[in-house]
Amino acid sequence: EEEEEETYAVEVQPSDLNKDDRVRVQWASTEQFDGTVTDKMTKLVTAKESVSGARVAYDNGSDVWHFDGDAVTVWRLSAAAAPAAFE
């Protein structure tokens, strides 16, 4: 009996993600959702403190920003393709 090959996922902070990365996010519950990173940003929390995060377009149609410190666990399923080299 052959085992199915698992996607190798690496747990990361939202700020470590890059546009077009494929991710799986576990919310406070045990539910996990897959999506694609569409944007990144850093926002000010106070005059001297900022937090970075990534916007995820989920396969189910949701579109959510996740920031470092949010109550979610994020895994990178696959990295965005490297840009093609100039010939």
The conformation of residue 16, written as its DSSP 8-state character, comes to G
SS3 14: helix
Per-residue confidence in pLDDT tens, the chain, 87 aa:
554 445 567 899 999 999 999 999 998 778 999 999 999 999 999 999 999 999 999 999 999 999 999 999 999 998 876 555 544
Q: Among 82, 24, 83, 13, which residue's Cα sits nearest to residue 56?
A: 24
User: So what's the pLDDT on residue 30?
Assistant: 83
The span from the CA of 51 to the CA of 29, in Å, is 23
User: String of b and e for 5-22 (b: at least 16 CB within 10 Å)?
Assistant: eeeeeeeeebbebeeebb
User: So what's the pLDDT on residue 4?
Assistant: 47
Q: Spell out the residues 6+ positions from residue 73 whose beta carbon is closer than 8 angstroms to its own.
A: 11, 25, 26
User: So what's the pLDDT on residue 87?
Assistant: 46
User: So what's the pLDDT on residue 7?
Assistant: 53
